[in-house]
Amino acid sequence: MTSETKAPFYTPGGFREVLAISVPLILSTSSTSLMFVVDRIFLSWYSKDALAASLPAGATAWAFLCMFIGATGYVSTFVSQYDGAGRQDRIGAAIWQGFYFSCIASVFCALTYFLAEPIFNLADHPKAIRENEILCFRVIVLGAGGFIFSAALSAFYSGRGKTWTVMWVNIAGALINGVLDYLMIFGYGGFPEWGLFGAALASVIAPYVMTLIYIVLLVLPENRQRFQTLSSWRFDRDLFLRLIRFGLPSGLQFTMDVTAFTTFILLVGRLGELELAASNIAFAINHLLFMPMLGLAMGTSVLVGRYLGAEQPDHAAKSTWTSIWITTTYMTLFSLALIIWPDEFILIFDPGNWEGNFAEVIQMTRILLYFVAAYSVLDGWNIVFSSALKGAGDTRFVFLTALTAAAITLIAPVYLACIVYGRGVYTAWFFLFVWLLFLATVYFLRFLAGKWRSMRVIEHAPAPGAVVEEGPLVEV
């Protein structure tokens, strides 16, 4: 074991620093995860068709959104490297370029409204489910701007390690979504009983509220003076093109992962309603318990960017290995919980109105959760190593890996095995395991190769006297 893989508690890149910056992001992503799980729980109480339609529709919409969310979210890497290099005067300009990109991206997302019917007709799900899928998809893509703008503006705080602010804004968004879910799905508080339409509408309103909060914070006097959050409003062609150059591959990698997952769900849906419902529940549980690791990965990316901006790649490497220790421990405990107590997780989704077949759903979901337990550590390694590489600027490699993996280890094998040769849902989930194993292995080897150490997304070396302080980068 090298010195980089050791993570003493107080050293730069050690446990204290990684946790100080990541815990608020973990709580933030957990609140977002809870928002989606609350959607699923309420919809499972409302109707089986609404629940069955929610994941394919949401995942398909997300496949279009995530390229733009991933690209605008990459503003945080520019912010972290500028901050590490002592170039706080460039942070406002980076945020503005993300804002301009978000305006364009929101229009493109809205135009996918017209793709809803062709996509879900191709999926060939039962008519009642298909109609709900089309409705939900259209609501989400028309309201996509909130997701995209909030991703760009939150980079001002996450990129500088001020992650508590991001946490509180996300929690506010999750609470707003949860309340609106309850009112709009079931028709309380003067709202009509909108069902899945209400859940989708609540999901797009909350991010717009979060965007407004970030705008108010960005124009505070301190931020205007120190980071030039208003005076740097002009279009910066060079910076905008660099955001496209590094951010688009990051967004495309996100897109490929989500597209692969969405295609998987659509293919599973063709196996039957029981298989789709069981997969929906298994993924909802997976999503809830895995989301904290997304927060850890975001923290890793920020630390890697910050230390590379300050020309301290050894500390960037140590931050990554510390995150790997944490994710391996967490995912191992998570896997054991799913193996020992699967029914306790599944029964959260028992609505009492499944017309007697929920026992079959439980039996199938229980086995699917064993697959989740088997791939959890791999998924954690995948997200941490890929985030570290993206924090350096190695986004093109990450995208090409995601593209290759989606094509040869998931989509093609699942289609051939399950649709052409008639194999069942467990075969499909086996290939999901293979997909994650491939991704984790390739990203791990790329990180070990060390090419990322010399990569930067910013245009200048550190300003004279720029230093990253020993210890945590954020208030604890």
Q: Where are the domains of the chain?
A: 12-454
Which residues contact residue 132 at a Cβ distance below 8 angstroms, ignoring those fewer than 6 apart? Answer: 49, 50, 52, 53, 54, 57, 195, 196
Which of the pair, 393 or 56, is modelled with greater confidence?
Answer: 393
In whole angstroms, give the CA distance from residue 344 to residue 229.
48
In whole angstroms, give the CA distance from residue 19 to residue 209.
28
pLDDT at 257: 85
Report CA dihedral (308, 312, 313, 314) to the nearest 10 degrees: -150
Tokens of 282: 């298994």
Which residues contact residue 289 at a Cβ distance below 8 angstroms, ignoring those fewer than 6 apart? Answer: 334, 337, 338
Mean pLDDT, rounded, for 444-454: 95
The model carries a pTM of 0.83
pLDDT band at 151 (very low <50, low <70, confident <90, very high): very high
pLDDT tens sequence across 361-384: 888 899 999 999 999 999 999 999
**What is the number of H-type helices and E-type strands within the chain?**
18, 0
Which residues contact residue 338 at a Cβ distance below 8 angstroms, ignoring those fewer than 6 apart? Answer: 285, 289, 345, 369, 370, 372, 373, 376
> Which string of b and e fits 346-358 if b means at least 16 CB within 10 Å?
beebbeeebeeeb
pLDDT at 175: 92
pLDDT band at 354 (very low <50, low <70, confident <90, very high): low
Is the model's pLDDT at 159 over the cut of 90? yes
